Amino acid sequence: MNEITSLAILASITIFSLVTFEFLARKNIINKSVSRKLLHITTGFIVVYAPFVLQTFLVVIIVGITFTITNFILIRRKLLKQINDTQTVNLGIFYYPLSFLICTLLFWNVNKYIISLSFLVFSIGDAFAALVGNSSNTKYFTRITKEPKTFNGAITFILSSFILLWIVKLTLWESFNFIDYDWLNFSFLALIFSLLGGITEAISTKGADNLSLPIVLSSATMMFFVNGIELQSFILAFVLALLISIISFKMRFLDFGGSAVTFLLALFIFGIGGWKWTVPILTFFILSSLLSKIAERLSGKDIASIFEKGSRRDYKQVLANGGVPLLIIVLSNLLELKIDWYSIYLLSIAIATADTWSTEFGTLFARNVYLITNFKKVTPGISGGISLIGTLGGVLGSIAIVMSSMFFFDLNFQILISLALFALIGNLFDSLMGATIQVIYKCSICGKLTEKKIHCERETNYFKGIKAIDNDAVNFISVLFISLVYFLFLIV
C-alpha cells in the first residue's frame, strides 16, 4: 500500500468517525459525552498508526493544517453541536489537530514515533479520566481550576498512562527505537511521565488539554526516551521537588494547585539542569514569597482589595513566572543551537523578579505612583502604576537573580548590566500592558478600580482592558516577549 492510499484511508476513517459520532449523538443513540470520547479514542489511534504508514514530512504537515482549519470552521459555524461543547467556550476539537500539527513540526524529523506514544497515552488516558471522573458515585474535586476536575479522573489518567507505557515497552519499544532502560529505571520514568500528564490534564480547562497534553507528553518522550537523562540527578530532583512543594504548601506560599505545578517545575529544572539552573529560580521563589508575605501584612486591606490574588500563589501565578524558564531549559535540550541559553534563562527569571519586587516595594514604600501611559497619579498597587522606589526595587530584584548564578556562570559586569537593563525593559513593558490591555473592574459599591471580579461582596463591573488578559497573562507575556527579544539580540 503506497503512502497516498494510506493517507486517503486514514482521512476517510477520520471524517467518517466525525460524522457518525455527531449523528449518533444528535439522534440520542449515544449521549454527547460518549460521542466525544469515542471520537477522541478513534482519532487517537489513527494518529498513533500514521507514523507507521506515512513517510513524507510535507504530506503530514498538509494533513495537520487541513484538519486544523476544517475543524475551526466547523466549530465557528456550529456544525458539531454534539461533539463540541457549545454551552461553554470550548475549542477542544480545534486544538486536537493543532496539537498534532505542532508535534509534527517539532518531533517528526527527530523520531516520528514520539507522536505515536504521546497520542496513545493522551487519547486513552484522557478518555478514561473523563469517563471515570464523570461516572464515579463519590467525587473528590481538586479545586485547582474553576472548571470541575476530580481526583478520580486524575488518578485514572496517571494509572492508565503508567500501564500503557509498560504495554508499549513490552510490545513496540524496539520498533519505536527508544532508549531501553531496565525495569526499575523505566518504572520511575513512567511514573514521572504519568504524573506530568496527570497534572497537565488537571490544570487544563475548556478543552485546552487537547493542545497541552500532546505537546507536554511529546516533549517528555523526547527527553526521557529519545535523548535520555541522568537518572541519578532526576531521582534527587524528585525528592527535592517534593520537599519544596510540601514545605511551600505548609508555609502557605502556595495553594494546592500551585504546589502541584511547582513540583513539576522544580523536578524538570533540577533534573535537567542541576544546581546551576535551580539556584536562580529558587532564589526568586524564596525571596519573592517572603517579600509578598511581608507586603501583604504591612500594606493592609486597601492594597489587598485591589489585587485579584493574595500572597499565596496558585498554579496560574506559578506558570506565569516559571513557565518561560521551564520552556527555555527544555528548548536548550531539544534544539541544537549554539546560543547562550543560560543567560536567556536568567533574564526570564530576572523579569519575573523585577515585576514582583516592583509591586511589593511600590505598595510598601511609594507615596507617589503614576500611570505609565499618562503619568497621572494613581493608587499604589493599580496595574500600570510605576514609582521610583518600585522601579529601584525591581532593579534590585533582577540583580539578585543574576548574582545568584555567579558560582555557576562566567559573570562579568557587562553581562550583569545587560541582563539588568533587559529586565528593567521587561518590567516597564509589563506595566505598559497592565495599563492598556489588562482587564480592570470597578466596584459598584465603593467605586474602586480592582482586578477582582467580586468586591464589597458584590460582582464588579467591567471597566477596561481585554477580559481574557488578567495579571497572570500579562506577566507571562512580558517574560516571554522580552526573553524572545533578548534571544534575537544574541543571535544577531
CA distance 178 to 226: 5
Q: Are residues 330 and 432 in the same domain?
A: yes
Residue 440: its H or E element: strand 440-442
Cβ-contact 347, 482 below 8 angstroms: yes
Q: In terms of C-beta density within 10 A (0-12 exposed, 13-18 middle, 19 or more buried), how is residue 335 classed?
A: exposed
Closest to 51 in 3D by CA, of 160, 169, 177, 161: 177
Q: How many helices (H) and strands (E) does the chain have?
A: 17, 8
Q: Are residues 337 and 474 in the same domain?
A: yes
Q: Are residues 315 and 412 in the same domain?
A: yes
Residue 242 covered by a domain: no
Q: Are residues 310 and 161 in the same domain?
A: no
Place of cell 500539527: 101
Residue 256 covered by a domain: no
**How confident is the chain (492 residues) per 10-residue block, as mean pLDDT?**
83 87 81 78 89 89 90 78 57 86 92 94 86 68 70 87 95 92 94 91 82 92 90 89 91 87 90 91 91 75 54 84 91 81 95 92 83 84 85 94 90 90 95 90 79 76 84 92 93 78
Residue 264 covered by a domain: no
CA distance 10 to 134: 31
Q: What domain count does the chain have?
A: 2
User: For residue 455, which phi and psi values (nearest 5 degrees)?
Assistant: -145, 140
In terms of phi and psi (left: phi > 0; alpha: psi -120 to 50; beta: otherwise), the region of 207 is: left
Residue 295 covered by a domain: yes
C-alpha separations of 45 from 34, 245, 324, 361 in Å? 17, 36, 32, 54
CA distance 261 to 315: 6
CA distance 312 to 5: 56
Q: Are residues 58 and 138 in the same domain?
A: yes
Residue 245 covered by a domain: no
Place of cell 470552521: 73
Q: Are residues 308 and 218 in the same domain?
A: no
C-alpha separations of 72 from 66, 101, 321 in Å? 10, 14, 31
Which range marks the domain in which residue 354 is found?
275-492
CA distance 264 to 118: 18
Q: Are residues 210 and 348 in the same domain?
A: no
Domain boundary among 211, 227, 243: 227
Q: Are residues 197 and 72 in the same domain?
A: yes
Q: Are residues 54 and 185 in the same domain?
A: yes
Residue 186's pLDDT is what? 95
Bridge-based pairing of strands 440-442 and 377-378 is unpaired
Q: Are residues 285 and 206 in the same domain?
A: no
CA distance 421 to 280: 18
Residue 270 covered by a domain: no
Amino acid letter at 425? Answer: I
How is 268-310 classified by DSSP, letter by letter? HHHHHHHHHHHHHHHHHHHHHHHHHHHHHHHH-HHHHTTSSS-
Residue 115 covered by a domain: yes
Q: Are residues 302 and 177 in the same domain?
A: no
Residue 203 covered by a domain: yes
Residue 306's pLDDT is what? 56
